[in-house]
Amino acid sequence: MSDQHHPSGHDPAVAHHFESADQQYQSAKLGMWVFLATEILLFGGLFVAYSVYRSNHPEIFIFGHRFLDKNLGALNTVVLIWSSFTIAWAVRAAQLKQIRLLKWLLVATMVFAFVFLGVKVGEYSSKWKHGLLWASRYAPHAEEHVGVDHNAAATSNEASREVGSSGKPAVVAASAGSAPESGSSRSTIPLAPEGPAGLAVEGEGSAVGHETSLLEPANARIFFSIYFLMTGLHGIHVLGGIGAMLWLLLCAFRGDFDGGHFTRVDMVALYWHVVDVIWIYLFLLLYLIH
Amino acid sequence: MTSTVFAHLLQVVDGAAPEDGGSSFWMPPQVSTVAHSVDWLFNLILAISVVFFLLIVVLMVVFVLRYRHREGQSAKASPSHNTALEITWTGIPVVLVIVIFVFGFKGFLDMSTPPANAYEILVEGQKWNWSFTYPNGYVDPNLHVPVDRPVRLVMSSQDVIHSLYVPAFRIKMDVVPGRYSKAWFEATEPGEYDLFCAEYCGTGHSNMIAHVVVHPVGEFETWLEKASNFLDTMTPVEAGQKLFQVRGCQQCHSVDGSGKTGPSLLGVYGHNQILSDGTSVVADENYIRESILEPQARVVAGFDPVMPTYQGRLSDDEIVAIIAYLKSLDGTSGGE
Amino acid sequence: METDTLTVAGAVGVDRVDRGSYLTAGGGVRSWLFTLDHKRIGVMYLAAILTSFFLGGIFALLIRTELLTPGQTIMTADTYNKMFTLHGAVMIFLFIIPGIPAALGNFVLPLMLGAKDVALPRLNLTSFWFWMVGAIFALVSIIVGAVDTGWTFYTPYSTTTGTAVISMTLGVFILGFSSIFTGLNFIVTIHKMRPEGMTWFKMPLFLWGLYATAIIQVLATPVLGITLLLLVAERTLGVGIFDPSLGGDPVLYQHFFWFYSHPAVYIMILPAMGIISELVSVFSGKHIFGYRFIAYSSIAIALLSFLVWGHHMFTSGQSGITNMIFSALTFSVAIPSAVKVFNWLATMYKGSIRLAAPMLYVLSFLFLFAIGGLTGLFLGALATDVHLHDTYFVVAHFHYVMFGGTVIAFLGGLHYWWPKMFGRMYSERWAQLSALLIFVGFNLTFFTQFVMGSHGMPRRYYNYLEQFTRLHQASTIGSYVLGLGFFIMAGYLIHSLFRGRPAPANPWGSATLEWETTSPPPSHNFDRELSAGDPYDLDSLRYDPNIGGWVRKNPQSILLAQGGTT
């Protein structure tokens, strides 16, 4: 840049439109915080959906959360908290120009992130095997009895206490009058309605079993829709975070941080902390229901 | 010339209720007990709006003329701030909107609180017609009500969101699938009025019009009696045709051979139907009956399994009438 | 023309057009598509949104032509339903939401701050690319069969219809990011890059408008994002959240949708109001009246706008208490807007009013926005809204505020900053004609719709009852007059790019900083560091007939003192 425009002589790490390195850093920081606010609002919509359904149909959540493994959820929470620690330390390392340490810490954070995703993949595939998917693909069955008519299972109290191989109770599909269980039953054309279709009246499941706490409420499927939507969107953000960390790693190898310009690491770390905090709320709201 | 222009302008402003209950410049006739207060509020807001609009425009024009830029002159110094003025012109609108809000809310409370002895009619909205079920179970495509009697509508949709709107009554309420919504009114003037769907619902949204027939005192019961007994008063074929038209069949099934969502029923009786699984069946009384009650059981090839079931919605007698009607569509006598 | 050039020899405007500016610094498509210069990005946005306006306008003319007669005129019902959906979606998501911030704001904001660029230029370019990608998705949707849900995509219709909903909603989702990034950039720029002397209450009001808008863009748009994602998930996976037969709630969609879409209309109007504040002051030759109130009211409107979404749902079946609260809050947000109108009028009082093209748009705005705002009162009041909801009354109301408000102000701003952007003056005569045609055509098109609506004519109706024919025909004729007005505008504006009189640095006599550089500016914006005074201190300027423009009486007053912070 010619001196006519930069009489003071510019630090090449500072973009030409900024007065100073501090102005540049402050701008990046404000920008990242504003972006994180948008992320909170993005998830906010799902949290609102959660609140609406939970306040109108608490039984769905009381029933559904039993199929989530609290231990795995707790493990994931610990893993993410550790990863927040490693990435925070990485920021410090970049600040102090400890590039080797920075690289290892980035790798460690990514490892934690992959562990998190691995656990989630495990949880998802277990749900898949049991047919515990979102609304239109909700077809619950115990693992050993893939394909059995769940109406038949519903007639036996034994089934209502049966425990599947992953330690979860089997589902008693008590309501035979629920919408057709075809894979893509998203029809809004209801069967002969005696009341309005859809937001069904409670007590429809009273036909079978005395263990009302194990009785599947008519719209249990909605719990799983919410579960997959919230953890799915979060998972996508974890993937994005891994991508960002890979980029940081590349920058570290390129020597971008040798001069102590740690802003990028700081910004990615901020993002990662928010991803972590969102998970903590998901864990509390989905796994730890009383 | 100026006097007619002025008269027209006055008409724009003067939304006053006409004495004979006919339409005014802005509004359709007032035919329900709430229409008067809705129109009154409309006129109040109109008056306030006209006053402020004229204030703004007149001042604007006056300022442009009086303070037009003149060569060599610049604006005289004047304050760019005046607390008293700013508080005044904030305070007055605040008071006015509070007044408008209060009347709006009160009117709304009246409109959403039906009297205890309201006559209840069930409403079903579907793409793209309305059906009204009277307390005796009779279903009609139009809304018949007695004059001077509160009527309560309990409404639900078969498919997407619709909205029941009767401009002459000033009422409107969305009709939602999966729940019941309610509206009420009391008609004050016999006659026939339009009932529109006011929530976009697809191809036939603008054709989803029904009529509200307000019967003079004493005549409603007579009408209901006569209409309900259509199975007795009409021939089976006529009754079947009425059901075919009123209960939504004709939305998807033509009777003239043209293709629609469902197969045309011209000449259906006795016809050998090829089914979607490759087998075939002769369309006799049993097949027709099954198609009405369990439509997904044996679907004609080339059509989607989207027909809703009428289990619980048609009585046996009604099904018999429909079958009679369909039998009459043999292609020789031109069915409508 | 030649004589003029010689007499103003040495004047910055002429020099710059010949010698090179941001427009000519580096040619080729690549240098534009990969530019980090906010001015180039602004100009590209301008071209993009004007193209979208043209496309949306074509849909509008097709709609109005169909409505010349009840029943079929030129298209089937299904095509008509797609027409009004596309008109709404294109106008709202491709034109009016990006509109003023992207096309004018990007160009003007750094210049008004005496800065060299926005805080995050690469994010700015990314924002533009996102607009392009979103537009491509929308175009693909239109080509493969278009959408027929209405721009509001209400469920369950939108989750069950067979049209190209997914490509359109994904397009809108991507456009949402464009909007978020623009807002984010403006917030950071305004916070961190104001020049010496420009405290918050020394900022031009256009910047207050952009800032308030940016707050909404950043906080509301993500909610639209998640809503559209849920819609796509509903269609592709059947998550059931809005489907009653799967346990979902279709009205929940409306809450999500309007939580964004109501604040969105303030994204549309706040920058427009900012422009009006600038124009009314300059063309009345007077300091703006009530600066503080206007600044505060912009923020107040932005915040209050988040609390009123339920007024779109008074007849949806929500409870009476809910309705009451939303109605009350809706009236509260009306007050700041009304008071701004009084402030602008007070600015004109005892001014020295010049009726140049930008000022004609100010007068249009005051007239049309007054009607638009006042008709909002009918809709905010519960009892009257029940009758008027989903009728043509609503259609007329929002066109008066969005078109009569935002678009008119946008046109005023376009005519105001055109010389700065392109270094050319346009034909004042043709501009006046065009403004008049637009004003008359607009009122003819939309005033009749108030009457139709209060008489019960529902909206989104392909077919209509005979009694409404005359009013529909008058409305259609109005739309053709409107079209003519815009056609003329395109003509003289394009002509000015090639043959317009070269513009001086400050053709209008404004004291904001963008006029302190040449028209058009060089790539780096300013040759000197600037400090800011009162942006409405018009007495600090005088007209110089030698250059046909305005200059500072004391040029040193806005230069940053040497030996200062740099």
Same-domain status, A103 and A171: no
Please give the backbone phi and psi of residue B271, each rounded to the nearest 5 degrees, phi first.
-80, 145
Mean pLDDT of C122-135: 97
Mean pLDDT of C439-459: 97
- pLDDT tens per residue, range C345-378: 999 999 999 999 999 999 999 999 999 999 999 9
Confidence label for B5 from pLDDT (cuts 50, 70 and 90): low
Same-domain status, A40 and A163: no
Domain count, chain C: 2
Question: Residue ranges of the alpha helices (H) in chain A?
Answer: 21-56, 58-64, 70-95, 99-130, 150-154, 157-161, 220-254, 263-282
Q: Cβ separation of B197 and C386 shorter than 8 Å?
A: no
How many percent of chain C have pLDDT more than 90?
Answer: 88
Write out chain B residues lying below 8 Å of C341, CB-based.
56
Burial class (CB in 10 A: 0-12, 13-18, 19+), B334: exposed
**Buried/exposed C473-482: b ≥16 CB within 10 Å, e otherwise:** ebbbbbbebb
Q: Which helix (H) or strand (E) holds B140?
A: strand B139-140
Q: Cβ separation of A179 and C123 shorter than 8 Å?
A: no
Q: Does B251 touch chain A (CB under 8 A)?
A: no
Which ipTM score applies to this complex? 0.92
Q: Which helix (H) or strand (E) holds B11?
A: helix B2-13
Same-domain status, B125 and B206: yes
Mean pLDDT of C103-107: 97
Nearest CA in chain B to A188: B159
Same-domain status, A149 and A40: no
The strand pairing partners of B126, in sequence order, are B129
Domain count, chain B: 3
Same-domain status, B127 and B222: yes
Q: Cβ separation of A192 and B309 shorter than 8 Å?
A: yes
Same-domain status, A129 and A150: no
**Helix, strand, or coil (residue B306):** coil
Same-domain status, C365 and C467: yes
Comparing CB atoms, the residue among C245, C353, C460 nearest residue B200 is C460
Same-domain status, A110 and A44: yes
Same-domain status, A127 and A90: yes
CA angle (B45 as vertex; B41, B50 as ends), nearest 5: 145
- pLDDT tens per residue, range C130-141: 999 999 999 999
The strand pairing partners of B195, in sequence order, are B210
- Beta strands B210-215 and B143-146: pairing type? parallel
Does B334 fall in a domain?
A: no
Question: Residue ranges of the alpha helices (H) in A139-261?
Answer: 150-154, 157-161, 220-254
Q: Are B194 and C456 in contact (CB under 8 A)?
A: yes
Q: Which helix (H) or strand (E) holds B284?
A: none
- Beta strands B150-157 and B181-186: pairing type? antiparallel
pLDDT at C417 (0 to 100): 98
Alpha-carbon span B79 to A106, nearest angstrom: 61
How far is B229 from chain C, CA to nearest CA, in Å? Answer: 33
Q: Does A197 touch chain B (CB under 8 A)?
A: yes
Q: Are C205 and C288 in contact (CB under 8 A)?
A: yes
Q: Cβ separation of C288 and B80 shorter than 8 Å?
A: yes
Q: Cβ separation of C386 and B38 shorter than 8 Å?
A: yes
Task: Please state the pTM of the whole predicted model.
Answer: 0.87
Mean pLDDT of B276-300: 92
List per-residue pLDDT tens for chain A, 290 residues long: 444 444 455 677 888 899 899 999 999 999 999 999 999 999 999 999 999 999 989 999 988 888 999 999 999 999 999 999 999 999 999 999 999 999 999 999 999 999 999 999 999 999 999 889 998 888 887 654 333 333 433 333 333 333 333 333 333 333 333 333 333 333 333 222 233 333 333 333 333 323 334 567 888 889 999 999 999 999 999 999 999 999 999 999 999 998 888 999 999 999 999 999 999 999 999 998 87
Q: Does A142 touch chain C (CB under 8 A)?
A: no
Q: Cβ separation of B312 and A194 shorter than 8 Å?
A: yes
Whole-angstrom CA distances from A204 to A175, A218, B242, C428 are: 6, 7, 36, 74
pLDDT at C26 (0 to 100): 82
Does A199 fall in a domain?
A: no
Same-domain status, A120 and A226: yes
Same-domain status, B101 and B177: no
DSSP C541: E
- pLDDT tens per residue, range C55-96: 999 999 999 999 999 989 999 999 999 999 999 999 999 999
Write out chain B residues lying below 8 Å of A188, CB-based.
159-160, 177
Does B66 fall in a domain?
A: no
pLDDT at B194 (0 to 100): 96
- Those residues whose C-beta lies under 8 Å from the C-beta of residue B88, and which sit 6 or more positions away, are none
Mean pLDDT of B244-259: 83
Mean pLDDT of C531-537: 91
Does B315 fall in a domain?
A: yes
Confidence label for C275 from pLDDT (cuts 50, 70 and 90): very high
pLDDT at A145 (0 to 100): 36
How far is A181 from chain B, CA to nearest CA, in Å? Answer: 14
Both ends of chain C: CA-CA distance in Å? 43
Does C256 fall in a domain?
A: no
Nearest CA in chain C to B29: C455
Alpha-carbon span A95 to A73, nearest angstrom: 33
- pLDDT tens per residue, range C478-504: 999 999 999 999 999 999 999 999 999
Same-domain status, A30 and A91: yes
Task: Output the average pLDDT for chain B.
Answer: 89
Q: Which chains touch C (3 or more CB pairs under 8 A)?
A: A, B
Does A247 fall in a domain?
A: yes
More confident residue, C558 or C150: C150
Nearest to C248 by CA among A219, B61, B13, A151: A219
Tracing tokens 């025909």 back to the chain, one arrives at C473
Same-domain status, C463 and C520: no
Does B50 fall in a domain?
A: yes
Does A111 fall in a domain?
A: yes
- Which range of residues forms the domain containing residue C550? 1-34+513-566
Comparing CB atoms, the residue among C192, C223, C237 nearest residue A23 is C192
Among A160, A192, A215, where does a domain finish?
A215
Same-domain status, A52 and A117: yes
pLDDT at A212 (0 to 100): 36
The reply to whether omega before B177 is within 30° of 0 (cis) is: no
Nearest CA in chain A to C223: A42
Does B149 fall in a domain?
A: yes
Across A127-131, B92-96, C1-5, C154-158, least confident range: C1-5
DSSP C288: P
Does A106 fall in a domain?
A: yes
Alpha-carbon span C134 to B213, nearest angstrom: 50
Q: Does A37 touch chain C (CB under 8 A)?
A: yes
How far is B175 from chain A, CA to nearest CA, in Å? Answer: 12
Does A116 fall in a domain?
A: yes
Mean pLDDT of B238-254: 85
Mean pLDDT of B95-115: 95
- pLDDT tens per residue, range C146-159: 999 999 999 999 99
Does A183 fall in a domain?
A: no
Q: Which helix (H) or strand (E) holds B215?
A: strand B210-215
Q: Which helix (H) or strand (E) holds A32?
A: helix A21-56
Nearest to C508 by CA among C373, C416, C385: C416
Same-domain status, C420 and C468: yes
Same-domain status, A158 and A103: no
Does A62 fall in a domain?
A: yes
Same-domain status, B219 and B286: no
Across A13-22, B249-258, C444-453, C513-522, least confident range: B249-258
Domain count, chain A: 2
Does C225 fall in a domain?
A: no
Among C469, C503, C537, where does a domain finish?
C503
Asked whether residue C290 carries a pLDDT value surpassing 80, the answer given is yes
- Which range of residues forms the domain containing residue A153? 141-177+205-215
- Which range of residues forms the domain containing residue B108? 9-15+25-61+84-113
Does B336 fall in a domain?
A: no
Same-domain status, B89 and B164: no
Alpha-carbon span C469 to C481, nearest angstrom: 19
Q: Does B177 touch chain A (CB under 8 A)?
A: yes
Q: Cβ separation of A198 and B177 shorter than 8 Å?
A: yes
Confidence label for C8 from pLDDT (cuts 50, 70 and 90): very low
Q: Which regions of C20-179 does DSSP assign to beta strands (E)?
A: none
How far is C24 from chain B, CA to nearest CA, in Å? Answer: 37
Asked whether residue C110 carries a pLDDT value surpassing 60, the answer given is yes
Same-domain status, A167 and A281: no
Comparing CB atoms, the residue among B107, B172, B205 nearest residue C389 is B172
- pLDDT tens per residue, range B125-174: 988 889 999 999 888 999 999 999 999 999 999 899 999 999 999 999 99
What percentage of chain B's residues is helix, strand, coil (to nearest 5)?
A: 40, 20, 40
Mutate which of A53, A188, A201 to disrupt the B interface (most B C-beta within 10 Å)?
A188
Alpha-carbon span C234 to A241, nearest angstrom: 26
Same-domain status, A102 and A150: no
Task: Output the average pLDDT for chain C.
Answer: 93
Does A42 fall in a domain?
A: yes
- pLDDT tens per residue, range C30-45: 999 999 999 999 999 9
DSSP B200: -
How far is B285 from chain C, CA to nearest CA, in Å? Answer: 32
pLDDT at A2 (0 to 100): 41
DSSP A70: H
Same-domain status, C499 and C517: no
pLDDT at B309 (0 to 100): 84
Q: Cβ separation of C249 and B201 shorter than 8 Å?
A: no
Q: Cβ separation of B160 and A188 shorter than 8 Å?
A: yes
- pLDDT tens per residue, range C11-30: 344 444 455 789 888 888 99
Same-domain status, B166 and B255: no
Alpha-carbon span A77 to A83, nearest angstrom: 10
Does C264 fall in a domain?
A: no
Q: Which chains touch A (3 or more CB pairs under 8 A)?
A: B, C
pLDDT at B13 (0 to 100): 55
Nearest to C482 by CA among C431, C540, C442, C530: C442
Confidence label for C555 from pLDDT (cuts 50, 70 and 90): confident
Q: Cβ separation of C243 and A198 shorter than 8 Å?
A: yes
Does C443 fall in a domain?
A: yes
pLDDT at C7 (0 to 100): 31
Write out chain C residues lying below 8 Å of A221, CB-based.
240, 246-247
Write out chain B residues lying below 8 Å of C244, CB-based.
176-179
